[in-house]
Each structure stands twice: as structure tokens, then as C-alpha cells.
Amino acid sequence: AQTVTQSQPEMSVQEAETVTLSCTYDTSESNYYLFWYKQPPSRQMILVIRQEAYKQQNATENRFSVNFQKAAKSFSLKISDSQLGDTAMYFCAFMKPLNTGFQKLVFGTGTRLLVSP
Amino acid sequence: NAGVTQTPKFQVLKTGQSMTLQCAQDMNHNSMYWYRQDPGMGLRLIYYSASEGTTDKGEVPNGYNVSRLNKREFSLRLESAAPSQTSVYFCASSEAGTIREKLFFGSGTQLSVL
């Protein structure tokens, strides 16, 4: 069974600075997907970024980028130019693709990020 | 567009009471899911429905039942609520056949069982 580990329960960063959230996972699969989801105080789950394991290039979405190290099974999220609106819980998630297209995500326990002025 | 709608947003139950959490999506998605979120545990899959007419157990199905009423609706039922079921419950949906498609989540139901 796949497992996802987020070893940082809480992190703090000042506005405009850069912060990196860590995520490691365990799987015997060679093809899979990795995700970072953001959950602000509103509780809404928002997809931040997605990485396909077969792609060597790290995914980037505006201020958000990942450092995907497949051999090390590591998938960290870097947030550049942090903004107050980035304050949220961040979840790392793993998905093994199935032929049916059904998505069965395995989530980590989350990292609470606080961005201060 | 409403996306994924969950009702109710908050609920307090006494031990042994029953209730049904409702979920509806208007995106014509085939797959729907129920997750629970507990502090320090992340989100865990309770049940899922890969397509209309099918349901399957996830990681933590005990104490729950589900019904895929039609393509739009997927309900979660607690027959006899227990304090261990105090949690935030999320419904989600995705488009089957396109595994690159993301999950769309509802806004959650905060359930307290006393």
C-alpha cells in the first residue's frame, strides 16, 4: 500500500519570502501522479499543482513549484513570494492511475502554513 | 456553476442517532467519493463510486453506508452514530476516463457526535 508522509506539522514564513514544504512517499509503482492540495480556513480543498511521475521536468504554477526526486521518492512544494492568502493547510497526495480513470488519492497528514506580515 | 454541493454544513448528533449526508455534483462526473478528515490523519477515503450503479469500500468504511442515487448524487449514511465518527466529511467528484483530471471537492460537513 502507498503511504505519504509530511514531516512538518506547522511552518511559518514572512510575507514575500520563500518556503518549502516537504513530502515523501512510498510506492513500488513506476507510474503515478503526485499532487499538492491547499485547504484554507474556508475548508475548501483546492488543487495547487500536479506532477506526473513519468515527467522529469518539475511542475510549476505561477509562484508554486515542486522539486520531484523520483529515486528519493520526494515531492516538495516551494512557494515563492509568499502572500497572506497562502495561509492554509497543505496536503500532499499520491495517486496510482487506473484504467477506469477512477482516482484513489492517498493523502499525507498535512502541513499548516502561516504567512505573517 | 455550483460544482460539488454538500448538505448540511454542520450537524450535531447524539450517540446512536442516524443521519444521511447529501452530495450532488453538476459537472456530469462519473466518479464520486466520500472522505473524512481528522486532525493529524489527513483525508481518508470512506467509500467511492467509480460510476453510476457501483460503490466500493475505501480505507475506513466501517459504520457507514452509501448510495449512488443517480449520476449526480452520492449520499453517505451513518446508521448508528458513534463519537469516533466526529469528523469533517468531504464529498468529491472526478471525470472517469481522464485520469489527468483533478478532483473537485465540496466544502465539507462538520459532524459532531456527542
Q: What is the pLDDT of residue A96?
A: 80
Chain A interface includes B108 (CB < 8 A):
yes
A25-64: pLDDT as tens digits: 999 888 889 999 999 988 889 999 999 898 889 999 999 9
Average pLDDT of every residue of chain A: 92
* Chain A residues whose beta carbon lies within 8 Å of the beta carbon of residue B48: 102, 104
3 state DSSP class of A84: helix
What does each C-alpha distance from A4 to A23, B75, B98 come to in angstroms?
7, 28, 23
Whether A109 sits inside 8 A of B98 (CB atoms) is no
* Residue A1 pLDDT exceeds 90: no
Average pLDDT of every residue of chain B: 91
Q: Is residue A105 very low, low, confident or very high in pLDDT (cuts 50, 70, 90)?
A: confident
Q: What is the pLDDT of residue B51?
A: 85
CB burial string A38-60: b at 16+ within 10 A, e below: bbeeebbbeebbbbbbeeeeebe
C-alpha span between B13 and B4 (Å, rounded): 24
Range name among A26-30, A97-101, A106-110, B60-64 with the lowest pLDDT average: A97-101
* Chain A residues whose beta carbon lies within 8 Å of the beta carbon of residue B101: 101, 103
State the average pLDDT over residues A13-21: 97
Chain A interface includes B2 (CB < 8 A):
no
Closest-CA residue of chain B to A96: B99
* Residue A104 pLDDT exceeds 80: no
Q: What is the pLDDT of residue A5?
A: 96
* Chain B residues whose beta carbon lies within 8 Å of the beta carbon of residue A101: 30-31, 94-99, 101
| Count of other CB atoms within 10 angstroms of residue A22 | 17
Whether A105 sits inside 8 A of B103 (CB atoms) is yes
Element at B72 (helix H, strand E): none
Q: Number of A to B CB contacts under 8 A, please give it.
A: 64
CB burial string B68-85: b at 16+ within 10 A, e below: beebbbbbbebeebeeeb
In sequence order, what are the residues at sequence separation of 6 or more whose Cβ sits closer than 8 angstroms to the Cβ of residue A86? A38, A79, A113, A115
Q: What is the pLDDT of residue B75?
A: 97
Q: What is the pLDDT of residue B39?
A: 83
B13-38: pLDDT as tens digits: 999 999 999 999 999 988 899 999 99
Question: Which cell numbers in the block locate residue B22?
Answer: 447529501
Q: What is the pLDDT of residue B7?
A: 95
Interface probe for B, chosen from A24, A45, A47, A105 (most Cβ of B below 10 Å), is A45
